Structure 1
Amino acid sequence: MTRKSSPQTKEPNSDHPLEAARAALISGGAHLVPAAVTTSCLGVREGDWERFRTHWDQLSVDSCSSALGARRLRRYGQFLLTPAVERIRLLLQAAFVQPEDSNPLYVGVERTFEPLTGSFVADPLFRAVLRLLGQVATALDDPAVWNAKVHPFRVVASPEVDGLPTPEGPHRDGVTLVSSLLIGRQNAVGGESSVFDPDGGLLLTATLGEPGAVLLGDDRRTLHSVSPVRPVDRGRPAYRDVLVVTLTPG
């Protein structure tokens, strides 16, 4: 599906390593970046994804989703990203509030989550991911500063209860760029990501299977959801670890 660019949209830079992603965001609103491309762009070495994944063992229970029957662990933090000088600044911890015309379960609701750990914030791989997303997002808008909301998630499934990455169903986050980066999967099947146009037409569907695979969406023009996660071996728990980062002009 091809769409006209908005007045704020910048044409893709042919020298950018993620040119295809930038062009796809402009034309269709969504793009899946293969793990190999992300890994190459970030300069990730063997073992880096597994080392980075250990931060997900430090997440806390998401009590808001637990009330809906979903088993999710998470933390949350907010940053200012200045692309011109590649500056990243952590903001003071605050409640997470989604705007109108976004997530139907939580519009206007103040949700409080445990902050990101200091080791996560300082991790060079996390900072490289944030800078890379800031470069990609300039295909959609070109502010002097981006506001980045950062959510490391773990969705847990058991033989009795499926893991629900998006209990709200197809939704927006009320931002400019929404991204979901796979960090790891254990004993898990399902978790298929889908992106829709505003009328519900399917634009893209994919299962993030390898660490480094990242789904990008122009949140102003699309909706997204993820199917339930189930254990492959029903005798063991299953989980799906992702890093969700959203960007809006700051």
Structure 2
Amino acid sequence: MTDSTSTTLTTAPQLRDGVPAFSAQVRRTGFVVLGKQELAGLIGDADLEDLRGAWENLPVDTQVDGVGVYRERRYGRLRVDVDGDTVTFEVLPNAVFRQDAIPLWKGKDRVFEPASEDVLLSAGMRALVSFDARMATAVNGNTSWTVGVHLVRVVARAGADGLPTPEGRHRDGHTCVGLHLMRREGVTGGLSTVHPNDGSGIVQTTLLQPLDSMFFDDNMITHEVSPTVSEGASGVRDMLQVDFNPVA
């Protein structure tokens, strides 16, 4: 692990070749769903397990009081620059998080406990964010991004479902968003529904395996996720959410 607040990563050849096709689908339909097998080679097993460990140290998300969901969360910020196959990362200071595009959060400054620099610049995180950044650049054309990194755990308990999207059907209010499943244990449900703006019909999928992912152009779709239901005393659904906005 580097002591620096910035680092670079060069994209693996097999994923470099996949980005044009995946991003072309996003430009056509607004989104792409990627199974674990389609991201083979992106991240090694040891790096993935190391990254997944960060979800075992999440504080309670106190910002969701009153909406009937128990959630744990950390948040971090990066500046990410894409130059061909090279992606550069710089850790930014923590800041309040705003989502004025969503009525539930409009006008609210939400403050989350920060993700550590070690997590933000870990090999697994850089691999996933690098892939998402190259997708965002291929979709939008921008090469310099302010990136929000959200480590989110939704807990379902007997008699108390987890709510991955208490906002209901919504847009996130960003340019592009990458979603990566990290863990799904002891729950059913969690059906993702995508509503394309062009009226081509809803698409539904359930992310089941670690690395099952979705990437979307936030201006072209709305989306929502159904509640998760515990199969026993409790269960969890862990997600890495990565949002992209052009550097101001």
User: Structure 1 length normalisation: TM-score?
Assistant: 0.87
Tell me the residue number matched to 1:238: 235
RMSD: 1.8
Contact 1:98–1:106 at 8 Å: present in 2 too?
yes
Partner residue, 2:122 = 123
Shift of residue 161, structure 1, vs aligned partner: 0.3
Equivalent-residue separation in structure 1 for 2:205 and 2:150 (angstroms): 21
| Stretch deviating more after TM superposition (67-76 or 46-55) | 46-55
Q: Determine the C-alpha separation between the residues in 2 that align with 1:123 and 1:249.
A: 23
Q: Which residue identity is paired with 1:196?
A: H
Are 1:184 and 1:211, in contact at CA under 8 Å, matched by a contact in 2?
yes
In 2 relative to 1, CA 70–199 (structure 1 residues): closer, same or farther, beyond 3 Å? farther
Q: Following the alignment from structure 1 to structure 2, what is the Cα–Cα distance between the partners of residues 248 and 193? A: 23
Closer/same/farther in 2, CA of residues 56 and 79 from structure 1, 3 Å limit:
same
1:102-145 CA deviation, whole Å, 9 max, x = no partner? 21200221000000023312311101111111111123212231
In 2, the alpha carbon distance for the partners of 1:15 and 1:150 equals 22
Alignment match, 2:166:
167
Deviation at 1:15, TM superposition (A): 6.5
Where do residues 105-184 of structure 1 align in structure 2 (5 Å cutoff)?
105-184=104-183
Decide whether the 8 Å contact of 2:29 with 2:196 is kept in 1.
no
Shift of 1:26: 0.6
Q: Deviations over 1:190-216 (max 9, x none)?
A: 111111124877432110011111111
Q: Which runs of 5+ in 2 are unaligned?
A: 1-14
Residue equivalent to 1:70: 69
- 2:8 aligns with none
- Rounded to whole Å, the distance in 2 between the matches of 1:150 and 1:199 is 29
Match of 1:138, as an amino acid?
T
Residue type of the partner of 2:96?
A
Q: CA deviation at 1:18?
A: 2.9
* 1:79 corresponding residue in structure 2: 78
Provide closer, same or farther for how the CA distance between residues 110 and 132 of structure 1 changes in structure 2, counting only shifts above 3 A.
Answer: same
Structure whose residues are more often strand by fraction: 2
Provide closer, same or farther for how the CA distance between residues 103 and 199 of structure 1 changes in structure 2, counting only shifts above 3 A. farther
Query: Secondary structure in 2 aligned to 1:86?
Result: strand
Equivalence for 2:246: 249
The verdict on how the C-alpha distance between 1:116 and 1:217 changes in structure 2, with shifts beyond 3 A counting, is: same
Q: Where has structure 1 moved over 3 Å in runs of 4 or more?
A: 198-203
State how far apart, in whole Å, the 2-side matches of 1:193 and 1:249 are: 26
Structure 1 Cα separation of the partners of residues 68 and 92 of structure 2: 31
1:166 offset after TM fit, Å?
A: 0.4
The CA distance in 1 between the partners of 2:245 and 2:239, in whole Å, is 20
Q: In the alignment, residue 148 of structure 1 is paired with which amino acid?
A: V
In 2, Cα distance between the equivalents of 1:199 and 1:17? 25
Give the TM-score, by structure 2 length: 0.87
Distance 2:79 2:45 in 1: 30
Find the aligned partners of 2:205 and 2:229 in 1 and give their Cα distance: 16
Structure 1 residue 50 displacement after superposition: 2.7
The letter of the residue matching 2:27 is I
Structure 1 spans left out of the alignment, 5+ residues: 1-13
- 1:194 & 1:202 partners in 2: Cα distance? 10
Number of residue pairs matched by the alignment: 231
Aligned in 2, Cα 1:19/1:143: closer, same or farther, shift over 3 Å?
A: closer
